[in-house]
Structure 1
Amino acid sequence: MTAEPAPSQEGERVLDWVTRHAARLAGTGPAPLRRITVSTATLAVHVEWAPPPAGGAAPPACPAVEGTPAAAARQDAIMVTSPMVGTFYRAREPGAAPFVEIGDLVEPGQQIGIVEAMKLMNAVQAEHGGRVAEVIAADGAPVQYEEPLLALVPDDRA
């Protein structure tokens, strides 16, 4: 009898991300979600929906699930996403103050973090303005292309 290997930290992070975003993913298909298969070693996500209902009814609106970030569940939330695969850092260097904190007002073009890819530090800039409602990606966490890093909510002063 062999012991099953412990899941990798990367695998756990991917599974956590898929779990947090499953409700949004389920709402994009033509029918109820049947299966999500996650692989790792660069990541592959396979999504399978059940056959569409006979009436061809539209899928129900995507509800927020427990564990879904509150800001991400808001209809008006603006996601700042990773421009590439790499490691996300909230500050310029270890021990430095983060580029942005929850509650900060962000302007278009403002740097909100760094994604390190192949030993190169790439600035992540907000495309839209808003107030930081939630920091979704953890400092030092591996991120995928277009993975949400933080959520902004519209602000009259942005």
Structure 2
Amino acid sequence: METILDLDRYPLHREGSPEWQRLVDESKAALAANGMFNLEGLLRPGIAEKAVAEIRPVMDTRSHVHRRMHNIYFKPSIPELAPDHPALRKVETISHTVCADQIASSTVLSIYEYEPLVRFLAATMDKPKLHVMQDPLARANVMG
């Protein structure tokens, strides 16, 4: 995992160390303040591109394609808005979904299944444990 994630900057594999605890504390504070935290640079350079290259052939040939016309509310009307309000303008969303069983040996799944990351995420949410989903279809989906 050291070649995929920057474990020097983000010591996910050193659970209980002062550096790990500081990362947990900083992440929890950002989560409380902003509703999210960002581990900028967690992926080593070139890894996102590698992951895309691994998945792109599957995405291009075997993904599930879903098209939908909708407004930003995903509702036909909103009582407070005039029918011609810009927020009710319809746009088309096209999703291409690839399921975990189609990318079994991918970088994406390696990261998803990385136990130190799972334990770190649990700690940031004050959960005793998180579990990766076992369902081979739903456990991880990549959308493009």
TM-score, normalising length: structure 2: 0.24
Q: Which structure has the greater CA radius of gyration? A: 2
TM-score, normalising length: structure 1: 0.23
Which structure: greater helix fraction? 2
